[in-house]
């Protein structure tokens, strides 16, 4: 079979349409975020877990944590909240620290995520889990 441009466009269109079926609606995303509210340091910890386990790139980790290239930390960090595709009311609770003694890197195959923002950073106070150090951890 010769694959023409028409076949390639059709294949990509089907792939995109099937991928969109997994996306949560705005209402579902809001509900998922409201059911998995994290403090700033826990959001950073979850992101560190995702980087450590290979679920998030270091670039995304930095974007979720920092407001700009100068290193200013976001007052509300971004993080992923997970839900089961077949039942968006059921959530997968990802760890909030990469330093947990018994953490597990596996995520079920029928789980997707939405991006949420944490509660505002409280000053002063240390961030409990500053996240991965690319020079030491990788």
pLDDT tens-digit map of 47-95 = 999 998 899 999 999 999 998 888 888 899 999 999 999 988 888 888 8
- In the sheet with 111-117, reading across from the earlier edge strand, the strands are 87-92, 78-84, 111-117
Residue 18's pLDDT band (cuts 50, 70, 90): very low
15 or 101: whose pLDDT is higher?
Answer: 101
How many angstroms separate the first and last alpha carbons of the chain? 44
* 52 is a domain residue: yes
The residue with tokens 């560190």 is 48
The predicted structure's pLDDT at residue 14: 34
**Domain membership of residue 77 as a residue range:** 24-137
* 61 is a domain residue: yes
* 8 is a domain residue: no
Overall domain count for the chain: 1
* 17 is a domain residue: no
* 16 is a domain residue: no
Q: pTM (2 decimals)?
A: 0.70
pLDDT tens-digit map of 116-138 = 999 987 655 555 445 566 555 54
* 71 is a domain residue: yes
Q: Helices 40-53 and 58-65 sit at what angle, rounded to 10 degrees?
A: 170
Q: Is 81 helix (H, G, I), strand (E, B) or coil?
A: strand
* 112 is a domain residue: yes
* 111 is a domain residue: yes
Buried/exposed 56-72: b ≥16 CB within 10 Å, e otherwise: beeebbeebbeeeeeee
Q: Quote the CA–CA distance of 135 and 138 in Å, as a whole number.
A: 6
């Amino acid at each position: 079979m010769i694959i023409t441009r028409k076949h390639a466009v059709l294949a990509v269109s089907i792939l995109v349409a099937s991928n969109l079926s997994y996306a949560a609606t705005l209402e579902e995303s809001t509900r998922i975020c409201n059911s998995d509210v994290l403090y700033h340091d826990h959001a950073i910890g979850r992101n560190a877990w995702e980087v450590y386990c290979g679920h998030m790139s270091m670039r995304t980790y930095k974007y979720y944590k920092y407001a700009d290239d100068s290193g200013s930390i976001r007052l509300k960090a971004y993080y992923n909240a997970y839900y089961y595709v077949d039942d968006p009311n059921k959530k997968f609770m990802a760890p909030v620290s990469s330093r947990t003694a018994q953490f597990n890197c596996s995520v079920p195959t029928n789980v997707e995520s939405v991006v949420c923002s944490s509660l505002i950073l409280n000053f002063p106070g240390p961030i409990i889990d500053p996240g991965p150090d690319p020079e030491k951890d990788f």
